Amino acid sequence: MDSQEFREAAKAAIDEITEYYDNVASHRVVSDVKPGYLRPLLPASAPLDPEPWSAIHADVHYPAALAEMYSNTFNGAHFNWICSPAVTELETVVMDWLAQALALPECYLSGGSTHGGGVIHGSASEAILTVMCAARDKYLNAVTAGLPADSEEKEEATWKHRSKLVAMGSAGAHSSTKKAAQILGVRFVTVPIDEDASFAMTGAAVAKTVADLRARGLEPFYLTASLGTTDVAAVDDFAGIAEVLSPTAGTAQDIWVHVDAAYAGSALILEENQPLTTPLAHFHSFNFNPHKWLLTTFDCSAVWVRSRAWLISALSIKPHYLRNEFSDNELVTDYRDWQIPLGRRFRSLKLWFVLRSYGIRGLQAHIRRGVVLGESLEAKLKSRPDLFSIFTPARFGLVTLRVAGADEDEVNARTERVYEGINADGEFYLTSTMVNGKFAIRVCTGVERVAEEHVQRLFDILVERAGAEVGKKA
């Protein structure tokens, strides 16, 4: 492709992206293709000769955001400062901007008192695996600190402790915590939650789980607390958890607490939610995905640690080919030591574009719209107690509901039929959850193009389908 062809293709792409967004409502909301549909449509192997752009372009029906276009244009690997100073430094700057916008405690800022800072990963799962790895090494270093460095004794003790390590998360925590434990080869134990505490993990439940594990000779070293669980957007009791863990905070038994706010973290941009961040000063790390609700295209997961040394000591490698005067003298940040891969994408450009083009106020207005629409749906559902019950009230743009029925079995069965019926139509795509044996429909309103008219239309469909269920003769 020469520069003239590129110019034409890129301009045409912009027209298409604009068209796509303007007409997004006319597309099916979820794909109706069958598994395996694609392979028969494609050649069995890659072409040997180049294809013209017109042929490739015909297969692309998907928009890419402008920042991705630029990022692709620069196409660097960006693993250390020397190969991409602008990429490295822009990331430090925008992560500080973002931390301030969410009112994270100052310990998470790059210039903060505990030498913390933020880094952009691809996904929350990657963020959780990475911080769990840092937590493991921090714990092992602390419990073997009294033994002579590089001794066989220390090595043996380290491996012995490794076999007893336990990572914890609530029953509502996202499966990525369990998966991280699986990858790292440590045990995973669930902290129970219940409906009386709105499915939040309490300090008392954490204290009990930790005491039980220690009584069995096991060593809990890590806990995921959630700000907005996947099932019902519950927020764990951060203050209660901080309090029960405070006796061992700062000792060798210190349990690393990571706050996973992958979805709901975007709502911290609203001042009314910012008091939630105060207890994070007692914890070790925090992540959220701007690509979920903060108008940033996939992928972009923002993660902060209270002390960057924890990440660097677990993940740093210094082969000769990566050496340079800036890194050797620790004058710069090398983000390769804050993540699993070596190379990295220019993701900060997306955040930089988003933060500047919407401004904090524009982002607040977007988040508030999603929150208000969730509340609007909840109010409508409450106007029909003959048909619906609210399972968990609107929070962070998520409402969960159930269809009325005589007993739990009937409620579960009716709710599931309504849910399946709506999804089969293809106009809306709802998700469901099963919490402590209760089936509920999840409705998420935090999507940019969703407006009150869509919420009204969904409600009308829910009324029609639930009405048919409830009206049926037994």
Ligand X SMILES: *Cc1c(COP(=O)(O)O)cnc(C)c1O
Outline where 266-347 has alpha helix (H): 290-293, 308-315, 325-328
Distance in angstroms (rounded) separating the CA atoms of residues 299 and 130 = 16
Residue 258 in contact with ligand X, rule: CB under 6 A: no
Question: Minimum CB separation from ligand X for residue 267, in Å?
Answer: 12
Q: Residue 92 or residue 266: which is nearer to ligand X going by CB? A: 266
Question: Minimum CB separation from ligand X for residue 279, in Å?
Answer: 18
Q: Which stretch binds ligand X (CB under 6 A): 118-126, 192-200, 240-248, 341-349?
A: 118-126
Distance in angstroms (rounded) separating the CA atoms of residues 247 and 242 = 10
Residue of 88, 289, 348, 392 interacting with ligand X (CB under 6 A): 289
Residue 314 in contact with ligand X, rule: CB under 6 A: no
Distance in angstroms (rounded) separating the CA atoms of residues 301 and 290 = 6
Residue 124 in contact with ligand X, rule: CB under 6 A: yes
Residue 423 in contact with ligand X, rule: CB under 6 A: no
Q: Residue 219 or residue 236: which is nearer to ligand X going by CB? A: 236
Residue of 174, 258, 347, 442 interacting with ligand X (CB under 6 A): 174
Residue 232 near residue 432, CB atoms below 8 Å: no
Q: Residue 240 or residue 290: which is nearer to ligand X going by CB? A: 290
H-run or E-run covering 20: helix 3-22
Question: Minimum CB separation from ligand X for residue 425, in Å?
Answer: 25
Q: Residue 80 or residue 400: which is nearer to ligand X going by CB? A: 400
Distance in angstroms (rounded) separating the CA atoms of residues 31 and 51 = 28
> What are the tokens at 271?
């001042």
Distance in angstroms (rounded) separating the CA atoms of residues 146 and 140 = 11
Question: Minimum CB separation from ligand X for residue 260, in Å?
Answer: 5
| Strands, sheet with 165-170, edge to edge from the N-terminal-most edge strand | 117-121, 301-305, 285-288, 256-260, 219-226, 165-170, 187-191
Q: Residue 288 or residue 388: which is nearer to ligand X going by CB? A: 288
Going by C-alpha positions, the residue among 440, 458, 459 that lies closest to residue 231 is 440
Residue 92 in contact with ligand X, rule: CB under 6 A: no
Residue of 199, 263, 304, 388 interacting with ligand X (CB under 6 A): 263
Question: Minimum CB separation from ligand X for residue 442, in Å?
Answer: 12
Residue position matching structure tokens 């904090």: 360
Residue of 262, 399, 403, 418 interacting with ligand X (CB under 6 A): 262
Question: Minimum CB separation from ligand X for residue 138, in Å?
Answer: 22
Residue of 301, 307, 348, 392 interacting with ligand X (CB under 6 A): 301
Q: Residue 144 or residue 289: which is nearer to ligand X going by CB? A: 289
Per-residue CA distances from 34 to 28, 39, 59, 410, 427 (Å): 15, 11, 18, 31, 18
Total interface residues for ligand X by CB under 6 A: 13
Question: Minimum CB separation from ligand X for residue 236, in Å?
Answer: 11
Residue of 110, 114, 123, 423 interacting with ligand X (CB under 6 A): 123
**Site track 216-255 with ligand X (rule: CB under 6 A), x = hit:** ----------x-x-x-------------------------
Residue 156: CA atoms inside 13 Å, Cβ hemisphere, count?
A: 5
CB within 8 A of 343, min separation 6: which ones?
77, 78, 79, 336
CB 22: neighbour CB atoms within 10 A?
Answer: 10
Distance in angstroms (rounded) separating the CA atoms of residues 442 and 440 = 6
Which residues are near ligand X by CB under 6 A? 123-125, 174, 176, 226, 228, 230, 260, 262-263, 289, 301
